[in-house]
Amino acid sequence: MHRFDHYRLLERVRTGRAGPVEIAAASRRFDNHCIDSPHRTRRTARPAVRK
């Protein structure tokens, strides 16, 4: 099934064997579309470094 190919691609990106640009390149094949997510931005934001 093609959806498993998408998960394999995500694993390759996670492990550094593929680049994030490959997700965008495959968006039509896997019918995924990346959008900005304020929730994810807040969740993954790095805390300020205190000096």
Per-residue pLDDT of the chain (51 residues; tens, 9 = 90+): 577 998 999 999 999 999 989 988 888 888 776 677 888 788 777 666 666
In a domain, 20, yes or no: yes
The conformational region for residue 16 under phi > 0 = left, psi -120 to 50 = alpha, else beta, is: left
In a domain, 19, yes or no: yes
Residue linked to tokens 């094949």: 29
Q: What is the per-residue pLDDT for 44?
A: 75
Residue linked to tokens 């205190």: 50
In a domain, 7, yes or no: yes
Residue range of the domain that includes 17? 2-32
In a domain, 39, yes or no: no
Q: What is the per-residue pLDDT for 38?
A: 84
Could you tell me the two tokens for 19? 């680049």
In a domain, 26, yes or no: yes
Number of domains making up the chain: 1
In a domain, 23, yes or no: yes
pTM over 0.75: no
Q: What is the per-residue pLDDT for 42?
A: 80
Instruction: Give the integer Cα–Cα distance in Å for 35 and 28.
Output: 14
In a domain, 44, yes or no: no
Could you tell me the two tokens for 14? 């996670």
In a domain, 48, yes or no: no
